[in-house]
Chains A and B, each alone.
Chain A
Amino acid sequence: MKAHRLFLILIISVTVSSAQKFVRNLPSENLCQQLTPENCKNVDAVIVLKEQSFLIRETNIEYQGLLLHGPSTTRTVIMIVKLFNEAAIKRYGSFEYVYPEYFGRDLPNGFEVKARVMKPDRKIKVLSKNEIKNIVVSATSDGTPLARKVLFKMPDLAPGDILQIEYQFTEVFARSSSAIFFYNDEDYVLFSNLYITLPMEDKARYISLPEARIGQPIIQQISKDFGAGKTYVWMLRDLNAIPDEPYSRPFADQSLITAFIVEKQGKYGNYQGDWNSIAKNFYENYLNQDEVSSEQLESLGFLEDTIAVAMDFNQVDRLYRSLRKNFILREFSSLYPASKGIKNIFKERKADASDLAYIMFKILQRWQQDVHIVWIRDQRQGMYEESIPSELWFNRLGVLINIQGQEKLYDFDPCIPTRYVVPWFLRTSRVVEITEGGGIHKQLKIPAASVQDNQCIEAHHLRFDSSLVLKDSLKLSYRGAFAEKFRGEHYGEDERQIVQSIKSDLLASCFTVAETTYVNNFWDDNEVEIFSCGVDQTQPESVDNFFAFKLKNKLLDEFKNAIFSTVRRSDIMFDGPFQMRLTWTIALPPGYFISSKIDKQKFGLEGKMASEISFQLNKNVLEISANLNCSDPYIPLRLYPKLIQLLDDLLREINRDLVFKRI
């Protein structure tokens, strides 16, 4: 939204701070009595009211003797929450809000917060202003604030209380041309209200998804401010909680939403709130700036005349790799590239994903390729809604190149290796291609992933030493989503930290001693490969002329622990079809033979998942393999117990005793 913030400094006015008066009343005794842990089982809190309001209005501020005039944006949030337990108090009893200061100390943005608590006997305690801390969290070296943080802890809070927090953030001389509002929350919401008031001269479009559930707004002239338009009001009730669960759809995809898009911005511009306008605007402001020079290109290892006119994807891959290798990639990125400062980026050799995408785009443009910048919203964030044209959906840029009719998307997310592969989180994503003329929605033509694309393999080679201590030589291989997650988890760590972290994991799962551990150069390679030797956690148990032991594993145990819950609330959405393969080869100690009865076992989950465990004896080597294949990444909530059952069944078989008998 940077492009559309209007920093208009025209005429002056004074900010008026409101008195300690709450906008909304606390709930009635009757309602409070109905909201009990007994009536609301297994929840920490109920949000009685979640109210959001968004207002753009004309403001006048006096600044160094001048009267400045322009539109400012005020966002108000009201939360009234019934707290059932200490978890709810932890969640709502402490308040934190960070906001930027665009004009330092000169024209500070406004933030006000009020809070009160109603005890079960309906006594009300209001938060003293002395308890509220407003601190500068980041500043320039001369102390000019760049961002502030407001913090407080609500005193005297206990389960059974009703907490009300109302806060208002005013961005001085800034406005946006679109905004998205979510009605749901982490906890169940009884009433969720939304108010949007734009300037009267603005022409805006309002979109709600799903429209049938949200309904039409009430439209009223509420604001008495000069030039204020009508207020659009939506009032919803009984919205389900959307807690953060492993392998669930992102919050934004689950929540009910309303958005507005300004199609024409009153007297301040002729902005058109459609994809074409915002894409065109973005192109002009961010993609048509600095160029890459031939010296800079040379510093990446490319000479202008070495690039053939007819390029192939190997050359593009080489360029991608060179950019990844020559620049330190920042972990987090903004949608807006530092497109006016390519020289500086080359000097510092540090860039975010959008900066690198911009440089790559400029180089390919220079080489006269059919190339475009795209806006990326990947599957980890969720889908973007085509009906809501806004940059707010996206967090980084990518590069889409077309060579002889074949398109390929390049992304600089740190989870992707420098030898480029399309990551799981882009496989089914749509992108917006940014052109001089506007924005085009594109569904990438990437072949659907198979279980082999997202694969992890755990291979144990077990042998007994002379004193029957079980030594394990383990190889772990991650491909696709598994490798990408691994990279994401370890980004910013050096090799020693990564090895130490792997060792700790192995000590928690299958080793008691991790002797040597090695990991491949997975930042470059497509696969992550880990090799480790150590002493296995299970040591043989001798009984008469037998001994027995159980197999240990890392991946399946971790997977089950990650997904296990006693109250799963949402459908499961894995990262794609995937496969887990576990194998153990065991060299039988001399003088022993295997005496366990070993049967092949298969388990399934309604065609979505299948697992199998099998045993085979080859001469003196016992080979055991267990596979878990998930062909359909979507598992509806109703199948969750069966999924856990399947994992338990497979783990039970893996953990059976293997018995060896002395010959």
Chain B
Amino acid sequence: MRKQARLVFLIGLLLLACKQVFLDQATISSLTVPETRHHQVIYFDKRFTVDEFGRLTIATHSLLQVGEDVKSAPELFYIFDGSVEKLIDFQARIAHATGASKTYDKSDLLTQDLSNKQIISELQLKFLPIAEACSRGDLVEVFTLHEQRLPPLGMRFSLAEINNDAHNISCSIQLPAADSLQFQVKNCNASPKITSQGRSRIYQFTWDHYSPVISDNIFEKRNRAPEVLASMPRYNIDAPRRTISISNWRDFGNWYLELITPRIIPDDQVKRLASTITAGKMTPRAKMDAIFEYCQRTIRYEQVYLEKGEVVPNTITNVLSRKFGDCKDYAVAIYGLASSVGLNPHLALCYRGRGLEFYPQMAVSQFNHMLVHFEDNGTDLWYDATNRIGLPGITTIDLMNQTALVLEKNNSRLIKVSECPANKLAIDGQFKYSNRGLVGELKISLFAQYAIDLFYAENYTNRAEFIKVLVEWLNRNINKEIMVQSVDYRKEALCFIVQIKCEIPNSVLEIDGLKYLSLARIFNRMFPGPDQKMDANKLFYFPFYNRVDINLNLLNLSLSDRPASQPGFLWHYDYELPAGPFDANQKSIFLTKFEAISREFHRTQKFIEREAL
């Protein structure tokens, strides 16, 4: 029966593949688009089709009008083919402005294997070398059909995928009529037109136009393009015996756990190793920390994506014997070792990278990272050994306040990866004024999540190169013009400390013998300036250090209104801001705090030069 179902599906795909898919002349003539000398997509249709067994195919159909710069071929000519999304069919046609036309099929595609020194995978790039045959005004029509081999990951279409000026855009989701669709539309007000076709129901979303835009608003979210997300109404996990519905995150978690279970069961060797690693550790936390330290120290980061490896981890045994892997492999190694000694860790999926809005309402994969969650006396701890840089129990800063799906049978749930309370950027400085600016010493201490990036850089470079990294970090985060004379650094358990001798040129404004200083003049990269757009409607997150403690000792400057008997000035300022992503309430709290801090940070104070006695 299972074989039969598969056969029906394949025949369906074959029939679809054999069908001529090109738009007819009347349809093409009806497409209205503005005149331009650039490439533009004048028609784009994405179609997700779910069959009665819950199998999913994705058809992408586009029509490109070639602009004058023929050598810059748009990405539509390139198609990915991998073990998760398998290319089933390809058809293309060039309709020349002269009236001639030519069609192409899958056999015309050239293949580039994407495996290289960095990544070994089954992903291939297929491309049609038709840019050579194109001239301005030609129409290039491309149709691709992919089979989604892991449909429960969900359906997702963002207009950003087109990556070009586009018109007449649509996204359709076709389901068996018996099923209803759970969907969300983001960043626009599109609502679907629902029609019936035979035993199917089609939800069609349309947009007139899309143009990719670079934002200069650094506080804005990155996934701003209109987007449709839909979960699988039904998925036949073991046709025809068991059908599941991915209607919520619990279902999603169950499906994914079942998919990877054969790979995460520890064998006796793993159990023995776990016992050795945790020997003498009394508390669950100490055991988790020891396992984490072992995995971090022993396993190096490498990407080997075979057998749907972009989504499915390698087996624990393989990871521990090869001693390399990616985030999923680190996670299963920690998970396997920890469960071997009776602990109760959970694998967790999340998105690594700030500035992306997560849509909790839809059980659709929005993840690019895996780590381990462990609850210790009511506290959520996160173990992320990826890149060998983590600190036990906390994540890197790019996971701060992100949503993670903690995987547990029948109890998978979304949890916020809370910002670590120990995060802090502490700056202690001692400076003397000179006519060049401030000259002296700075001690910069980065605590907890803030420290991890430097732990990483230090781990992957030799000392001399790391010092260059540090100088660049100072230029990017502390002061753009800082001139570093010498640098030293050291690591402590949760802290990275940098000590520098430096000059901060032009940090003191001199007018009529008075010296004017503000924290913003000294640390011109630490806090956004008044020039940075802060549009409350678009505010999403705060991409700067949000917990800061500054202590400066200005040796030969004192406030102009202080008596001469008080030379020098101790300047203390600390602040704490929410980091985002913000909801409406947090946004208002953030804005109030931000304005107050900004005022203080940019407040200019008057000093006079006065030597210490």
Contacts and interface: CB of A to CB of B under 8 A. Distances in A.
Contacts of A535: 531
A155 B511 contact: no
A135 B113 contact: yes
Given A155-B324, A566-B467, A514 B131 contact: no
Contacts of B214: 500, 503-504
Contacts of A380: none
A163 interface: no
A267 B145 CA distance: 56
Interface stretch (A83-91, A230-238, A581-589): A83-91
Contacts of B461: 44, 85, 87
A564 B461 CA distance: 16
A497 B464 contact: no
B69 A541 contact: no
A655 B38 CA distance: 40
Contacts of A153: 120, 302, 304, 322, 324
A247 B453 CA distance: 29
Contacts of B69: 494-495
Given A151-B120, A155-B324, A539 B460 contact: no
Contacts of B463: 41-42
Contacts of B467: 566
Nearest to A509: B480
Interface string A490-530: 01111111001001100100001110000000000000000
Nearest to A96: B117
A227 to B, nearest CB: 38
B562 interface: no
A535 B117 CA distance: 43
Contact of B604 (A156, A497, A543, A648): A543
Interface in A73-100: 84-87, 89-90, 93-96
Contacts, number: 168
A42 B462 contact: yes
Nearest to B481: A655
A512 B216 contact: yes
A157 B113 contact: no
Given A348-B133, A494-B38, A149 B506 contact: no
Interface residues of B, number: 63
* Interface range on chain A (Cβ under 8 Å from partner): 35 or more
A536 B531 CA distance: 8
Contact of B321 (A155, A158, A328, A546): A155
A476 to B, nearest CB: 18
B436 A494 contact: no
A564 B604 contact: no
Nearest to A497: B72
A299 interface: no
Interface in B19-41: 38-39
B471 A155 contact: no
A129 interface: no
Contacts of B118: 94
Given A153-B324, A328-B131, A133 B481 contact: no
B236 to A, nearest CB: 32
Chain A interface helix/strand/loop/mixed: mixed
A651 B480 CA distance: 11
B133 A652 contact: no
Given A93-B300, A513-B216, A567-B464, A138 B529 contact: no
Nearest to A545: B511
A661 B506 CA distance: 19
B388 interface: yes
Contacts of A37: 462
Given A96-B117, A512-B533, A566-B467, A138 B110 contact: yes
A155 B459 contact: no
B462 A44 contact: yes
Nearest to A549: B509
A483 B506 CA distance: 33
A656 interface: yes
B82 interface: no
A136 B111 CA distance: 9
A156 B304 CA distance: 14
25 contacts: A42-B464, A84-B462, A85-B461, A87-B460, A89-B300, A131-B322, A137-B112, A138-B113, A141-B107, A141-B109, A153-B302, A155-B322, A328-B131, A348-B133, A507-B216, A512-B533, A537-B529, A539-B531, A543-B509, A548-B509, A567-B464, A648-B483, A652-B436, A652-B506, A656-B506
Given A541-B518, A651-B505, 14 more contacts: A44-B462, A86-B300, A136-B113, A155-B321, A157-B300, A350-B132, A492-B71, A494-B69, A494-B72, A512-B216, A544-B511, A561-B472, A652-B436, A659-B511
Interface of B: 38-39, 67, 69-72, 107-113, 115-118, 120, 131-133, 214, 216, 298, 300, 302, 304, 321-324, 388, 436, 459-465, 467-468, 471-472, 475, 481, 483, 505-506, 509-511, 516, 518, 521, 529-533, 602, 604
